[in-house]
Amino acid sequence: MAKTAAIMLGDGFEPVEAVAPLDALRRGGVQVTTVSIMGRKDVTAAQDVPVIADALVEDADLDGFDVVIVPGGSVGVENLGKCAKLGEALKRRMAAGKMVASICAGPTVLAELGLLEGRRATCYPGCETVFPGGVYMKDKVVVDDNLITSEGPGTALDFGIAVLRAVAGDAAADQVAAGMLLGEQ
């Protein structure tokens, strides 16, 4: 059975932080669904990049995915943080040990839900000030059991490969990384 991922989208999300992981995951055979929290499938990313999501959060079973990904972008994170369905799903997933991944300012959504307590994580430099009880790591990508976090747009491909590795295994991640000329992962 194919592995699955949901990438959450709210107006103002950072496009590279959603599209780069989506690309790496799909190349690795993961079925990726982009999910809008805006009540409509057309979402406007930062820099006015239009994106059409695959599904609406109202219609998505966020518990059924192998991983749920929260991208950054300051306005996007603000919008994602207001989505009660996403917040409840993230709480359930973390409590059940299911995989959650987040990049840039996205980990602040997790922090505000109290999900980084005692966990190692990274984020966009400066956002770590809202990590109550979390352990901020100054690394490009941090994997802490079922939690994967990354710094920002410049680390989006590394993040995507790390999520692919966790979901689909080393062979898939190594093959995709080599095909993308990413070198040693």
Q: Collect all residues with Cβ–Cβ distance below 8 Å to 54 and sequence separation of at least 6.
A: 33, 34, 35, 41
- Using DSSP bridges, classify how beta strands 135-136 and 141-144 pair: parallel, antiparallel or unpaired: unpaired
User: Cα dihedral sign for 25, 101, 3, 63?
Assistant: negative
Reply yes or no on whether 104 is catalytic: yes
Active-site choice (83, 104, 123, 127): 104
Check: CB of residue 24 under 8 Å from CB of residue 157: yes
- Nearest partner of 7 among 106, 117, 145, judged by Cα: 106
Q: Which residues belong to the active site?
A: 104
